[in-house]
Structure 1
Amino acid sequence: MDDTTTGVKPPAPRMRSFAAMRHPGFRAQFSTFVLAMMADNIEHVISYWVVFQKFHSPALGGFAVVSHWLPFLMFSVASGALAERFDPRRVIQCGMALFIIASLAWAYFFFTDSLQMWQAMAILVVHGCAGVLWQTPNQMLLYDIVGPAELESAVRLNAMARYLAVLAGPAVGAAILLAFGPAYGIALNTVFYLPLVLWLISAPYGPKFRKAAAAAPRRAVRGLNDILTTIQDIKGHPTIVSMVLLAGAASFFVGNAYSSQMPNFAADLRHGDPGIAYSMLLAADAAGGLLAGLILEGGGLLAPKPRTAMILALLWGGALAVFSLANTYWLALGFLLAAGFLELSFNAMAQSLVQLDAPLDKRGRVIGLFNMASLGLKTFSGISVGLLGSLIGIHWSLGLSAIAAMLVAGVLLVLP
């Protein structure tokens, strides 16, 4: 007899470990994604080092952060609209082409030793725009590769890939820099983008391979109007609204602004060699995210639910607040590891919930709106953590910023 006839709800099926990896297409996407993300980080390592040596300009360093995140704020929805209107594989390839152009431009100016500040700024803008053309279409493609049942696994594994690239990219970038020098090294870096470009040429995913009933209508790309209409469209989807607000608050108040302040935290904690202490703090945040992916995926844990994402975000803010005020190095290191673990957990879950609840004909724009909040609003985290830190100290500025993000998560949690 069916359990529903007795009023007993049948148990939910257990989540499988590393479910997305069972798809050959996802395995190919994951491996090429890791290489491209690593190349992105390698470029940062080499270009930032040369730019710092040449200009010694804190203002240019600040511009590098703004140019990286501002395009996500301005163009994420437009990128999603492009991925709806055209084949997302080709949009991603355009993004990879911009990454390669940026690396080759750096290589030219490093070879000729003719780099000027305005040229460095222009290349940084090209690099930022490349990221926008990559992220939203890539997230749309995940849905086509694995389907809704295993989307959470795919999103979480892709997030884990980013942390893996953050760990591996600087190490590989430093090795390439030492072995080949900045000009040849950054030219060599273009090779790491090619596997993704080549795989996408014939990867059997995207609009051409969807069933007719699942194909979204092709609509014109309307720029700013797409942002306004998408905001109107999601009003009837409380899960999407809450996840966009949750991710947006985390990015606006905290983002990754504390990473640029890590040398100050390492110096203030006064534990051994400052360089080693700094490197370990940076690695702890990335290792926490990587560990989260391995544990949660390996155990098939934490099915996506809005309240679970909000609780994880609350815990993340708490971990960062404790880290910011810790006066013991190992305590700070442990809570930074926990923060990385919790950040991957709630961000991946929020993104999955948005994708699963997004209307088919607006999925690209809705994912773009989420990226505008979760990535684009990081542009302003330098104000809440960095600028405020210059007035009251970075420990208190990060602590108060983390508490502000926690307050938003708490309000969302108690709202009906």
Structure 2
Amino acid sequence: MSADSPTAAAASPPRSFAALRHRGYRGFFFSMAGAMMADSIEHVISYWVIFEKFNSPALNGFAIVSHWLPFLLFSVYAGALADRFDPRRLIQIGMVIFMLVSIAWGVLFLTDTLQMWHAAVLLVAHGIAGVLWSPPSQVLLHDIVPRDQLQSAVRLNATSRYLGMLFGPAVGGGILLLLGPEKGILFNALLYLPTILWLWKAPYGPKFRTEQGPPPRAIRGLTDIIAAIRNVAADRTLLSMTLLAGGASLFVGTAYQAQMPGFAHDLGHGDADLSYSLLLSADAAGALTAGLLLESRGLLQPNPRTAFLLAIVWCCALAGFAMSNVYGLSMALLFVAGFVELSFFSMAQTLVQLRAPPEVRGRVIGVYSMAALGMRTFSGVTIGVVGAMIGIHWSLALSATLLLTLILTLAAFSLRPRPA
């Protein structure tokens, strides 16, 4: 049996960048990283044009909601489709929608016919494409890498997402400067092609599995969501990791990044200079460092107790950042927050994927995505809206404290001794 076979058992200790040792995963990783970069570039260009043309705070808010709300509504359905059909084809459909959205932006920019309703439709289509991409890609990982290297694959995927967060805005800004928004967004459409082409011939998916499980159930609408939630609730670790990710996204998510200009202003760096840029990217740099360091050493293997401890550190770092009035300390706390955020989120997702019953794996991953990504739809309320009433520093500190309370409760529930 080859080392690349997902069914190969391995009892050896974790190796550095274990998943990247598989040729199949290397193709998956680099093609998906390119798609993540393209996703980020599209946001940079489209958001800039929307701001220039409409200068509408309501439309800017809708852009955030339309990005995350589809994950809340459709993640379980996307996971159920991945259980029943070839996940490669679902990801390809998502990539094609991404391409069509970029092309539509480009045509509207070139003809100067962009209207607000056009922007709303394209933003919604972009969000739906993301749902077709996320749960099926996690299901496909089980066909590419062995079970013992699944954490490496999940963590490397998360690292590539933060690579997109770090370099996507810079690359998008460069494309915007060199080509302009019209040609730049059309060029961006081509960046989705490598993923489509790699998936076309990649020898993974249902028809390549040597061990066939029971035939997948038909998709049954709302019944699927209820059944998937019951599957999650029946397993203490599945439930606690899903609630941990959902709580982190609800109470904090990425909403504090949208408030970064306010934090920078209070730290004395409110101008658009290097100091502000460094503050804005500090947590992404911490996450990238975590991905590279932990993978190079094979550290922090999946364990619920470790996930809870890392999440507690995240809460403390964010609360400290909220209360800090020293620029250097704020930078360091954001770096720590990014480091532990990638660590505990990727660990929680790994535990969910490892414990999900194979016959409903996509549905269970869909429930996790619904919590981990869909709940970000409301994080702007916990920090942004509350911040308008009591200030962004106190709102972030309060959100981190409430999340800390939830984490301690989940830890007590999940780690309590099981009855004999």
Report the TM-score, using the length of structure 2 for normalisation.
0.94
Matched ranges for 1:6-25 at <5 A: 13-25=12-24
How far apart, in 2, do the equivalents of 1:105 and 1:283 lie? 30
Residue 402 (structure 1) aligned with residue 391 (structure 2) = no
Contact kept? 1:243, 1:350, Cα under 8 Å: yes
Contact kept, 8 Å, 1:253 with 1:381, in 2: the verdict is yes
Aligned counterparts, 1:4-403, within 5 A:
13-213=12-212, 215-271=213-269, 273-403=271-401
Offset at residue 273 of structure 1 (A): 4.1
Residue 410 (structure 2) aligned to one of 404, 408, 412: 412
Q: Write the distance in 2 (CA, Å) between the matches of 1:395 and 1:187.
A: 40
Q: Encode CA deviations 1:214-242: one digit per residue, 9 max, x unaligned.
A: x3522211222211111112232111001
- The answer on whether the counterparts of 2:262 and 2:270 sit within 8 Å (CA) in structure 1 is no
Write the distance in 2 (CA, Å) between the matches of 1:343 and 1:354: 17
> Which residue identity does 1:366 align to in structure 2?
V
Q: Is the 8 A contact 2:14 2:298 kept in 1?
A: yes
CA distance in 2, matches of 1:191, 1:135: 20
Whether the 8 Å CA contact 1:79–1:368 is kept in 2: the answer is: yes
CA distance in 2, matches of 1:381, 1:401: 9
C-alpha distance in 1 between matches for 2:101 and 2:269: 38
Deviation at 1:411, TM superposition (A): 1.0
Q: In structure 1, what is the equivalent of residue 6 of structure 2?
A: none
2:192 aligned counterpart, secondary structure: helix
Contact kept, 8 Å, 1:311 with 1:413, in 2: the verdict is: no
Q: Which SS does the other structure have where 2:152 is aligned?
A: helix
The residue type paired with residue 122 of structure 1 is: V
Structure 1 counterpart of 2:16, which letter?
A: S
* C-alpha RMSD of matched pairs (Å): 1.1
Between 217-226 and 238-247, the greater mean CA deviation after superposition: 217-226
What number of residue pairs does the alignment pair up? Answer: 404
Deviation readout 1:104-127 (Å, 9 max, x if unpaired):
111011001111111100000000
User: What is the TM-score when the length of structure 1 is the normalising length?
Assistant: 0.95
Percent identical across equivalent pairs? 59
**Equivalents in 2 of 1:265, 1:217: separation in Å?**
53
Q: Deviations over 1:345-364 (max 9, x none)?
A: 00000000000000010000
**Counterpart amino acid of 1:237?**
D
* Matched letter for residue 76 of structure 1: S
Structure 2 residue identity aligned to 1:254: V
Aligned-partner Cα distance in 1 for 2:108–2:410 = 49
- Please name the residue that 1:6 is paired with: none
CA distance in structure 2 between the aligned counterparts of 1:329 and 1:71, rounded to whole angstroms: 37
Q: Deviations over 1:177-214 (max 9, x none)?
A: 0001001000000111110000000101110111234x
Contact preservation (8 Å) 1:244, 1:374: yes
How far apart are 1:408 and its partner, in Å? 1.0
Q: What letter corresponds to residue 253 of structure 2 in structure 1?
A: G
* 1:41-98 per-position Cα deviation (integer Å, ceiling 9, x unaligned): 0000000000000001111110000000000000000000011111000000000011
The letter of the residue matching 1:410 is L
Output the CA distance in 2 between the equivalents of 1:80 and 1:147.
20
Distance 2:270 2:164 in 1: 27
Give ranges in structure 1 of 5+ residues lacking alignment: 1-11
Taking the aligned partners of 1:275 and 1:388, their CA distance within structure 2 comes to 28
1:403 Cα deviation from its structure 2 partner: 1.2
Equivalent position of 2:5 in the other structure: none
Task: Show the counterpart of 1:4.
Answer: none
Q: Residue type matched to 2:380 in 1?
A: G
Quote the residue 1:3 is aligned against.
none
Segments of structure 2 that go 5 or more residues without pairing to the other structure are: 1-10
Q: Is 1:266–1:274's contact at 8 Å kept on the other side of the alignment?
A: no
Q: Which moved more, 1:222-231 or 1:21-30?
A: 222-231
Q: 1:216 to 1:373 in 2, by over 3 A?
A: farther
Kept after mapping to 2: 8 A contact 1:66/1:379: yes
Are the counterparts in 2 of residues 267 and 274 from structure 1 also a CA contact under 8 Å?
Answer: no
Q: Distance in 2 between matches of 1:216 and 1:308?
A: 34
* SS state at 1:212 partner: coil
